[in-house]
Structure 1
Amino acid sequence: MDDLGEIVDEFLVESHENLDQLDGDLVALEREPSRDLLSSIFRTIHTIKGTSGFLAFGRLEALTHAGESLLSRLRDGVQPVTPETITALLAMVDGVRALLASIEEGRVEGDIPIDGLVAQVNAQIADAAAPPADAPPADAAAGTGEATVSVDAPAGAPDEEARRPLGELLVESGAAVDTDVNWALEKQTGGDERRLGAILLDEGKTNPAAVNDALAAQGRRSVADATIRVDVDLLDSLMNLVGELVLVRNQLVRAATDAADPVIVRTTQRLNLITSELQEGIMKTRMQPIEQLWLKLPRVVRDLSTTFGKQVRVAMVGAETELDRSLLEAVKDPLTHLVRNAVDHGIESPEQRVAAGKSAEGTLTLKAYHESGHVTVEVIDDGAGIDVEKVRAKAVERGILAAAEAARMEPREVMMQVFAPGFSTAEKVTNVSGRGVGMDVVKTNIERIGGAVDVDSTLGEGTVWRLTIPLTLAIIQALTIDSGDDRYVIPQVAVHELVYVDGENTRIEYVSGAPVYRLRGKLLPLVRLDAALGRPAGTDDRGVYIVVLQADGRRFGVVVDRVLNTEEVVVKALTSRFKEIGIYAGATILGDGKVALILDVPALARRSQLSADLSEEDDAAAESADDSSRLLVTAVGARRIAVPLDTVTRLEQFAAEAIEWVGNREVVQYRGRILPLVRLSSLLGVEAAPPGDTVSAVVYTERGRSIALVVDGIDDIVESTTTDHEEVDDHGILGSTVIAQRVTELLDVRRAILAADPQFYATTGESVLTGAWGAGPGAA
């Protein structure tokens, strides 16, 4: 009985694999009928039928027999392949899958109804025209010039074929003739102890290359002999053991760096090499091509296309890309949801596509590739694309974003709102989508395995949904860093670059107390790791590192004290207490034996509440203050003053005690020079805010000269698209407008500076502090 149970288990495993393949093959057959594909499908169904009969699963045998009969007529050309026949065959496959699930659960077929499915398949046979009596299937097959496949061929045929006599293989390849081979066989019969190949070579009847090829073909194992099935639990156990071995390897390598004995050093290096090869081999046993996950998706697309009256073709690129088996299971549901969403919302109806100048048939492309130590999976459609303004309006309507925040968001950031819980732009709810449930689950599930999601879309052209997935969950490449006395690990997949801040040539700036760093013309928002983790924040910005990361489609930097090294770490699960904190993805043991927590980068970004606007490119030239431009909004007393961002060289904060006087002008020592200050409150006749310990200033540089406009605070950086403003007659004020639902005055920087110093723009004229305002790098 135990032997029979093993046979049933083997039958179930093979049948499930075959059914997954059948889904894709039947959809492909509908698009491009092929005799080879039909024969393959026929053999698969015949195998399931034959084994089910042997195991006395009568209902399963009856259902597959009906499908086999229909496939036989299609294969032999008796009737054509039509959408109706494919639909019937797919229904039959679903019935087989249900029966297998029942057998797996209770070792019996249960009461799964099959009569309707058998009738549906038989109806396709009855509706087809009967073949002529004088044209049997065998003749039809012969007419095509293809050999008829015998479905009753013995199971051992492949093995016998692989072990054919050497002489037969040589004759078949043309390397020898029958008479020479028979002559060599007669010599062996007469007592010659040499091998057949040796006799033919010694007598010059063939060549060594042909004999080697024939021997290789003769000894080649069959597919069945070349593979074995291994229990997944055993692979998981091996993976855990290799993980522990990697930890020990890391500790030995760390200890051996200080060893004086060259034998220990060489032995450790050898152990390092063997461990790496063993780790790679074990990981390969768990790796499977993503094609196994994609096989079911053409069937999903076909069913949805039929339901919604659309025409969608599925294309696959990089199907051979491999992923850890556990990750394939984790990605299956999110990927299926993205495909269903693309067919339902992305690709238009044939009439809409033709009206838009497109082909009636849409294309859904599944693409996978390796990149920077992880796998990227893309779902690409050539549909209508995402309407950013519609998403922006819906986000405000549903309370996901404030109106002011939504107005200043970049299009890419707006599109990321489709992953917010409860978000949906669907005008009607279907049984597929439209309830606002799903996209947030996609994001959550992918981030749970250490991955990331992204979306890029062009209105009218299509959308790209991008999933970034680690190769494995057990062992990852990671960056080890220090913050204070604590050590942490950041997954390498999230790290874009490292920046060292020395406090002199490179330094951290502040906007309304929030740290930022100017990286290649962009203001990069920063997170102080010690402050984010609830520890006292450091005050010294010298000699620190910025780890540039990306999460939720946004780049930001994490300020840390030290960057140690990059190494492979073994991910250990956290207890529920640590998981509740929500900022750690796991833990690991480092080479020196210390325990380090692995940071959850997306959670760190959300917890720090990064401002989306600080990542904008702040040095882009603005045409004018009343055109589409970026504005720095400042506070001057009770008034809001907007400064064109292209006039801002730097944002600074000076200590109040650092301000000195030269004549009747306030100055401050700045980067080795004397920088004059202009208080906008005095210039505009506004009552300034009470003095504090620091002074906020906007540094402006022109022709090598610099001046600092002192404000009470820096509020925000916004995108202004308004063209209407009220003119005012005030020194340095161009007019006023409404920004983020508040009246904001537009500063005319040139007039304001001339009111404070009429000689500032003079090319040769003397200024109050002309000698102090030297040109050069220090002036900026």
Structure 2
Amino acid sequence: MDGLDDIVEDFLVESHENLDQLDRDLVALEQEPNSRERLSSIFRTIHTIKGTSGFLAFGKLEQVAHVGENMLSRLRDGALELTPRRTDALLTMVDTVRELLGSIETTGGEGSVDVELAVALISAALEEPAEDAAAAPADESSAAESPAADSPAADADAVEESPAAVETPFETPAVVEAPAVPAPVAPAPVAVAPAPAPAAPKPAAKPAAAGEDGEAPRRAVADSTIRVDVDLLDALMQLVGELVLTRNQIVQYVSRQADTDLVRAGQRLNLIASELQEGVMKTRMQPIDHIWSKLPRVVRDLGMQCGKTVRLAMEGNETELDKTLLEAVKDPLTHLVRNSVDHGIETPEARRAAGKPSEGVLSLRARHESGQVVVEVIDDGAGIDPAKIGESAIRKGLVTAEQLARMATADVLQLIFAPGFSTAAAVTNVSGRGVGMDVVKTNIEAIGGTIEIESEPGRGTCTRLRIPLTLAIVPALTVECAGDRYAIPQVSLQELVSLDAEKAATAVEEIGGAQVYRLRGELLPLVQLADVFGLTSDRHDGHVVIAVLRSEGRRFGLVVDRVINTEEIVVKAVGAQLKSIGLYSGATVLGDGTVALILDVQALARRALRAETVERADQRTAAATAATHAATADRSRMLLAAIGGGRRVAIPLDTVTRLEQIKTATVERVGSREVVQYRGAILPIVRLDRHLGATSSYGYGEEEAKDTLEVIVYADRDRSVAIVVEEILDIIDDSEAKHSDIDDMGLLGSAVFGDKVTELLDVRAAILAADPGFYAFDTTAPAASDDLMAV
């Protein structure tokens, strides 16, 4: 069997089970020849074997199953009556099929197995006259008294070409030595003496049971698997979960003991429990192809219904995940596929007009990644237009125009998951009712997964599902906050960062009212777990512990009091009251017996990433109330940056939406202006060293050699500008600064910060240098003479 692929192995296992059942059903059918239910069951089984054997190119097997199917079809329809002779013919067919399966199992092919006898027997039984069929039982009774005399006479008129071919099966199933009986009928058919062939599977199976030349016995494929009820597996999984909990408690207790024998026994228990857990979890793993196999028909039928030609491509069919999760993602995945065919892929005419092949391509991809299963649904259709999404969302009252103006493209795309959202012009039996995508997201998040969407108008859409491998037992990080313990699934954890009091005082910054931490040059939004729960942290030494988490394609930092341990936890469901809070995905019992709630990382991520909206809102307010800022200049905060040549500029923090680092290689040009693709939009760039005439420490030729550029992003409504500086230095308080009106082009004056003269940037002039039309349609923007900062 080493040379057989998985499809053939599955076919052999299922066919062996079906043949055993056929033997029982055919014998029982003799007692109840009019049982329509049993006849239909036998017919379906033979039909399945025939269809699969044809698909796998087993011609002999298909041939013998086909004639058997013909007889069963006529028996089922009432055109024939079941007689002992016809039962014998069907049993001979079963024996021949079993022999062919044995040959396929041992050699990989059908070999020299002869199927002509079985085909001839069934064909002859199909033509058996009605009067002989009625007389068959009487013939059998007399045959018990004088078989040699009566048997040939009874069949003389029933056989046209080969009388012996019909005689033989009466004795064949019961007595292997029966070929001697037909000899008196005619000498020519004696050539059929190898009639014992239907009983040949037994010797043919010997190579599968015992190897030659002293090889160890090899188990037959039908004996290598066993069907187990899913409820039994669920019960076994629950018991293993309880064992893991007990193992954790024992291991913690043993680790505090000095008895070496006890410690050794605890380690052994830990190892065995882990191996048992892994083994039981494997029994529940199934390839995703179990649900993918139904999708080609869905795509074909829906494509014809919508007048589209769609080709389905699948990669990673063998990717495995827990059976429970497999069932949970079946409906969401089907809905996403239907959505791609209906909304995403265009009609052949529209595709040709757009310069695309008339046939659309829908791709399904699955892979294991970081302890998760990643499933992607990708189409090469029209993509999603954020403008249309926004218009529909406003029309349905999901967001206001002001809220939409402050949203990034990625956030706009997430609106398709809002309840009641739809862009369909009319309701059909496929879509348009505004239900489905919100249920998809809810179902995926209910099993601890996430859903992401990326789209490019005119090019296509990718919907990405990230699903845990299993829900029962997961590795987790245990943390403490305000004296309570919480568990964070490790699948969402990227790293831990610990800051002492001195570093935390300067490293944790505040932008637009949101706390951030610069981790290796990248700004990381922070969420204080104590603030989320409305508690008071019991850590007062200034030390900060950050758990860096990733959710929905973005990173954020969760600030906790302290890290306790990492261990495998058994996930238990929480009650309706706790679930309604929306911050917990479950609960568990820790090794010391205490209960810990499992944090919902997706819910925490939404809180962290909400800072982006807050930043935009604060920026909009800052632009509209510039005069107020001028009156309270003594309390403004400034972002200090170097621009080269020893020069520094100060930028009001209120005009900073976010700080970023971009790859130099991503900078492109539109005419004479530099731009960069950023969050689905094109951002114009202004380099302050060139804008202000500074001499960069790198020089114009050398600065391009830098891998990354430090960028200050200013955003208002749906427009943004990237201001490039040489280095971000600090965030300072302007309350004690000494100001001067000495300035130059592009400046609003100067001031002394940290005993060094610093230039005050005219932010408006810098923005207009990058994007002259930035304020063209902004009636709330300050006039040209207005200052965006106080001097």
Q: TM-score, normalised by structure 1?
A: 0.60
Which residue type is aligned with residue 253 of structure 1? V
2:564 aligned with 1:564: yes
Residue of 603, 611, 622 corresponding to 1:635? 622
Distance, in Å, in 2 between the alignment partners of 1:559 and 1:518 is 14
1:611-650 correspondence to structure 2 within 5 Å: 611-612=611-612, 635=622, 639-640=625-626
Residue of 441, 444, 453 corresponding to 2:442? 444
Residue of 747, 756, 761 corresponding to 1:773? 756
1:160-171 correspondence to structure 2 within 5 Å: none
Number of residues paired by the alignment? 550
Which residue type is aligned with residue 594 of structure 2? K
Aligned 8 A contact 1:453 1:465 in 2: yes
C-alpha displacement of 1:281: 0.5
C-alpha displacement of 1:501: 3.0
Structure 1 residues 406, 543: CA separation in 2 closer, same or farther (over 3 Å shift)? same
Structure 1 residues 46, 269: CA separation in 2 closer, same or farther (over 3 Å shift)? closer
Distance, in Å, in 2 between the alignment partners of 1:601 and 1:688 is 40
C-alpha displacement of 1:425: 1.9
C-alpha displacement of 1:353: 2.3
State the structure with more CA Rg: 2
Distance, in Å, in 2 between the alignment partners of 1:260 and 1:352 is 77
C-alpha displacement of 1:395: 2.6
Partner of 1:21: none
C-alpha displacement of 1:43: 11
Partner of 2:240: 242
Distance, in Å, in 1 between the alignment partners of 2:384 and 2:541 is 42
C-alpha displacement of 1:278: 0.5
C-alpha displacement of 1:73: 11
Partner of 2:339: 341
SS in 1 for 2:374: strand
Distance, in Å, in 2 between the alignment partners of 1:244 and 1:39 is 37
Partner of 1:620: none
Distance, in Å, in 1 between the alignment partners of 2:514 and 2:588 is 32
Distance, in Å, in 2 between the alignment partners of 1:558 and 1:356 is 46
Aligned 8 A contact 2:19 2:98 in 1: no
Q: Which moves more between the two structures, 565-574 or 531-540?
A: 531-540
Partner of 2:482: 484
2:293 aligned with 1:295: yes
Partner of 2:610: 610
Aligned 8 A contact 2:209 2:217 in 1: no
Structure 1 residues 221, 515: CA separation in 2 closer, same or farther (over 3 Å shift)? same
Q: Which moves more between the two structures, 245-254 or 541-550?
A: 541-550
Aligned 8 A contact 1:159 1:222 in 2: no
Aligned 8 A contact 2:479 2:562 in 1: yes
Distance, in Å, in 1 between the alignment partners of 2:243 and 2:13 is 44
Residue of 624, 631, 640 corresponding to 1:699? 640
Aligned 8 A contact 2:302 2:341 in 1: yes
C-alpha displacement of 1:304: 0.9
Which residue type is aligned with residue 58 of structure 1? R
1:581-596 correspondence to structure 2 within 5 Å: 581-596=581-596
2:376 aligned with 1:398: no
SS in 1 for 2:258: coil
Aligned 8 A contact 2:257 2:263 in 1: yes
SS in 2 for 1:610: helix
Partner of 2:87: none
Partner of 1:228: 226
Which residue type is aligned with residue 594 of structure 1? T
C-alpha displacement of 1:590: 1.6
Structure 1 residues 218, 36: CA separation in 2 closer, same or farther (over 3 Å shift)? closer
2:566 aligned with 1:579: no
Aligned 8 A contact 1:420 1:440 in 2: yes
Aligned 8 A contact 2:453 2:463 in 1: yes
C-alpha displacement of 1:296: 1.2
Provide, for residues 547-580 of structure 1, a one-character-per-residue CA deviation record: whole Å limited to 9, x for no partner.
Answer: 2223344432221121233221111111222222
1:257-656 correspondence to structure 2 within 5 Å: 257-505=255-503, 507-536=507-536, 542-606=542-606, 610-612=610-612, 635=622, 639-640=625-626
2:99 aligned with 1:157: yes
C-alpha displacement of 1:338: 0.8
SS in 1 for 2:257: coil
Provide, for residues 510-553 of structure 1, a one-character-per-residue CA deviation record: whole Å limited to 9, x for no partner.
Answer: 13432222334443322111111121368969321222223344
C-alpha displacement of 1:503: 4.7
Partner of 1:140: none
SS in 1 for 2:410: helix
Q: Which moves more between the two structures, 528-537 or 337-346?
A: 528-537
SS in 1 for 2:525: strand
Distance, in Å, in 1 between the alignment partners of 2:245 and 2:351 is 56
Distance, in Å, in 2 between the alignment partners of 1:268 and 1:574 is 31
C-alpha displacement of 1:598: 0.2
Q: Which moves more between the two structures, 270-279 or 155-164?
A: 155-164
SS in 1 for 2:591: coil
SS in 1 for 2:742: coil
Structure 1 residues 688, 242: CA separation in 2 closer, same or farther (over 3 Å shift)? same
Provide, for residues 365-388 of structure 1, a one-character-per-residue CA deviation record: whole Å limited to 9, x for no partner.
Answer: 221111111111111222222222
Q: Which moves more between the two structures, 299-308 or 270-279?
A: 299-308
Q: TM-score, normalised by structure 2?
A: 0.59
Which residue type is aligned with residue 303 of structure 1? D
Provide, for residues 478-501 of structure 1, a one-character-per-residue CA deviation record: whole Å limited to 9, x for no partner.
Answer: 121111211111111222333333
Distance, in Å, in 2 between the alignment partners of 1:251 and 1:513 is 43
Distance, in Å, in 1 between the alignment partners of 2:262 and 2:346 is 67
Which residue type is aligned with residue 511 of structure 1? I
Structure 1 residues 427, 60: CA separation in 2 closer, same or farther (over 3 Å shift)? farther
Distance, in Å, in 1 between the alignment partners of 2:13 and 2:341 is 29
Aligned 8 A contact 2:620 2:716 in 1: no
Structure 2 unaligned regions, length at least 5:
1-6, 56-72, 78-91, 112-207, 660-677, 685-713, 724-733, 759-791
Structure 1 residues 254, 37: CA separation in 2 closer, same or farther (over 3 Å shift)? closer
Distance, in Å, in 2 between the alignment partners of 1:46 and 1:67 is 9
Provide, for residues 589-642 of structure 1, a one-character-per-residue CA deviation record: whole Å limited to 9, x for no partner.
Answer: 1223221110112223345671335899xxxxxxxxxxxxx9955738x7238x
C-alpha displacement of 1:70: 13
C-alpha displacement of 1:699: 3.3
C-alpha displacement of 1:63: 9.8
SS in 1 for 2:526: strand
C-alpha displacement of 1:61: 4.6
Structure 1 unaligned regions, length at least 5:
1-24, 26-34, 78-113, 119-149, 170-209, 617-629, 642-679, 724-736, 747-751, 776-780
Aligned 8 A contact 1:569 1:588 in 2: yes
SS in 2 for 1:390: helix
Provide, for residues 341-391 of structure 1, a one-character-per-residue CA deviation record: whole Å limited to 9, x for no partner.
Answer: 111112222222233333222222221111111111111222222222322
Structure 1 residues 383, 163: CA separation in 2 closer, same or farther (over 3 Å shift)? closer
Partner of 1:688: 632
Provide, for residues 72-111 of structure 1, a one-character-per-residue CA deviation record: whole Å limited to 9, x for no partner.
Answer: 899999xxxxxxxxxxxxxxxxxxxxxxxxxxxxxxxxxx
Distance, in Å, in 2 between the alignment partners of 1:261 and 1:360 is 75
Aligned 8 A contact 1:503 1:543 in 2: yes
Distance, in Å, in 2 between the alignment partners of 1:272 and 1:428 is 60
SS in 1 for 2:338: helix
Q: Which moves more between the two structures, 237-246 or 387-396?
A: 387-396
Distance, in Å, in 1 between the alignment partners of 2:224 and 2:54 is 33
Which residue type is aligned with residue 433 of structure 2? R
Distance, in Å, in 1 between the alignment partners of 2:288 and 2:44 is 32
SS in 1 for 2:548: strand
Aligned 8 A contact 2:538 2:561 in 1: no
